[in-house]
Amino acid sequence: MEELVVDVLVIGWGKGGKTLAGALGRNGRTVALVERSREMVGGSCINIACVPTKDLVESAAHRRDDDDPQAWFADAVAGRDNLVEKLRARNHAMLSEVEAVTLVGGRARFTAPHQVEVTAGDDRMLVRAASIVVNTGTVPAWPDIPGAVPSARVHDSTTIQHVSPLPERLVIVGGGDVALEFADMFAQFGSRVTLVQRGARVLRHEDADVADAARELLEEHGVEFITGAAVTSIVDAPDRATVAVAVAVAVDGVAREFAADAVLLATGRRPATDDLGLDVAGIVRDERGYVVVDERLGTSVEGVYAVGDVNGGPQFTYVSLDDHRIVTDRIMGAGRRTIVDRVAVPRTTFLTPPLARVGLNVTQARAQGRAVLVGSKRIADIAAMPRPKIVGETHGLISVVVDPGTDLVLGATVFSIDAHEVINLIALAMRAGVSATALRDGIWTHPSSTEALNEVLASLIPASAAA
């Protein structure tokens, strides 16, 4: 069996792992990066998640009523695939060009705390390293529902991106960010979308007015919502997939059945640690299966780290990027960086328009017993923000939560065109301690979406009055 000894072994080609491998390799460390699938070179973000799905969202948003849905969708998928291939090739080149980095194709499994066996068909390689980084990410979690098995009509968030043909009728199970992104996307491609979820409302982590505004947007785009419902079975017949839904008494108290050409199960994700041999190495996982890490991303085994989604932290590629900074500092630097250093990390759900948030919303502030000020306005009512009217997209709202004692922003929700950019400015202001007054009185370009802050922050009132 071939053996390879390196300073650092990275298992998985995600954002944190690939950036870490490149940084260490360029700074004198020998590195091996193991990836089991050619389709995942570069990581989830460029292959199946952030980039390809947002490329499809963008394509869907530009389809006009007289554009043929099937042809438009087929062209969109082809464009998505072309983009992914280019990004995948570039990601491979970025590491293959680093002499100290060895790229290994195959499945890695721990055989000792600092040793893995990599298998690729009949080939075997033993890799030993003083430092090992687990970067295997997550995979879709399939619910325990009779008939919920992969097929040509029953999909997860990865396989639905290549559904063929475009489903005339699509049932989506779930009510979170991923479910809503795909519901909005496929509705705009031309599918008749029915979204089924157990809870009483979608986006339960958002304020009620925000969740309601998101639902109103999707309903306007043609999405039907069935809430307070539990899926009892999926029957994948030769000519259709039938989703049987038991609707809660709060709705109408009777079971209903929906005929569908395709079903998307958007019911969360689980850590990709199957057959990784973590128990053999003594690496501890939590009750959900995620690798347990400390504030500096160290596992229960000295010298073994976990970065990205597999460590159970926020599942965003930019958090994985920050994970690499922490581990790089631990291996090459003073080891002072920690996950506690993260302040005001924003997030975006890519509806059309996007829904972005950072920090506390009103519901969370109240739950903490905080006395706060809130500035909130619907986009259509913000006179100082003409850009949405110029581009013809006036859905959504902006809400900002402010501490009345310090005049600092505690959080914000931006549901509007350019939300994914505006939220970054607010997040930076929160990290830098910029006051709400400074944002309110800021001089912004015109017409822009940022200038909405002039008007929204001029409307601050106590949260109790805003209820």
The residues assigned a catalytic role are 446
What distance in Å separates the CA atoms of residue 448 and residue 395, rounded to the nearest whole number? 16
Question: What is the number of alpha carbons within 13 Å of residue 324 lying toward its C-beta?
Answer: 20
Look up residue 85 and give its two tokens.
Answer: 């291939």
The two most distant CA atoms of the chain are separated, in Å, by 71
Cα–Cα distance list, 226 to 98, 107, 242, 262 (Å): 52, 41, 15, 17
End-to-end CA distance of the chain: 67
Contact 148, 164 (CB under 8 A): no
Burial class (CB in 10 A: 0-12, 13-18, 19+), 192: middle
Rounded-to-5 percentages of helix, strand, coil across the chain: 35, 30, 40
Q: Which two tokens stand for residue 367?
A: 């739950």
The identity of residue 190, as a single letter, is G
Work out the angle between the directed axes of helices 50-61 and 177-189 (0-180°, nearest 10). Answer: 40
Number of residues that this document lists for the chain:
467
